[in-house]
Amino acid sequence: MLVTLFHVSRGPSLPVYQVGDVNLFGFMANGWVGVGIFFIISGYCMGMSTERDFSGGMTLSNYARYSFKRMLRIIPPYYISIAIWVLIIDVYHIAPKATAFRDIITHVTFTHNLFQDTFFNISGVFWSIGVEMQFYLLLPFIILLCRGTVSFLMVLLVCLGASIATYYSNLGIVYKWGLLNYLVLFVYGWGIYKYKSSLLYFINKTKAIYIATPAFLLLLSVNVESGNQQKMYEMGIAIIYGVIMLKLSDVIPEENRSKLLYVLLLIGQASFSIYLYNYIYHFVMPRTPSPFSIAFMFTGVLGFGVIMYLLVEVNTEKMRAKLFKNKRVPSGARLDGKYSATVTDK
């Protein structure tokens, strides 16, 4: 939702209410940090999957099975979105994006984020899908290295050092927005899941949530300069969010959910499709942005993403569940035909 709000609200008509260095509407301009936050969420969710997939250790067979499951989770909705974007860009020219053969090939092989000339093509947000898939393929080897708490902390520190090194280097965007830069957030998210019980005990004992929540909201509203400061800011706010996410996972009730929470869960389940079609607002983008038009485009993007989720992801997840004879029912598609709002296999 932060990323979507950032994309639809860019322009000279953003509302501003300044209190010192804090802009109460700064969360719109800083919504891009949602990418770093999502990588932490992704690492956390992958902790669930890898715990099952590698419970008996890692072999070539279960690594291949794990990789195939990952591809079946990502590829069907992702490839369909590529086809749709190439079609509407070439036919309607709604965005100045390249859709040449090289762009398509690099995107379907998840290598477009490794080249400067294909990095932002087809859709400006697809670069992070490449980073995500590269992390999936690397994660089992990270798990092999993290035999215990000490080895996990060493891996986390190495990733942190690599990330900071890219910030202060002269490397281009391929590196500064690549896996080397973001790996620390993935590993941090995975570690939150792995050490969930101990971390929850610490959070509850120290009341850290009462520090993390206001700090997160305050940081969302500050003015951030470009360059290295932005990257450090993204890492810091994403790490703080990890604390909030872990506490929320412990307090949100499984039953008797409010209607608002139900809607938020649906948006969360549809977040992949929402992200894939984040730029669909170009179809209806008004010439003079205003708070009303921002709200209209924001709602429209979320709605379109939810529709594509129900049309594409729910059905491809049914196929994946059948293929792997998985008894877990895909999100949004219970066998009795009713909607399910439970957390399912990422």
**Tens of pLDDT along 202-230?**
999 999 999 999 999 989 888 777 767 78
Q: What is the pLDDT of residue 16?
A: 65
d(CA 6, CA 12): 13
H/E stretch holding 58 reads none
The burial of 259, by beta-carbon neighbours within 10 Å (0-12 exposed, 13-18 middle, 19 or more buried), is given as exposed
Which tokens sit at 342?
């439970």
Q: What is the pLDDT of residue 237?
A: 94
Q: What is the pLDDT of residue 261?
A: 84
pTM listed for this prediction: 0.86
**Tens of pLDDT along 77-101?**
999 999 999 999 998 887 788 899 9
The yes-or-no verdict on residue 183 having pLDDT over 70 is yes
The yes-or-no verdict on residue 339 having pLDDT over 50 is no
Q: What is the pLDDT of residue 285?
A: 73
Distance, first Cα to last Cα, the chain: 19
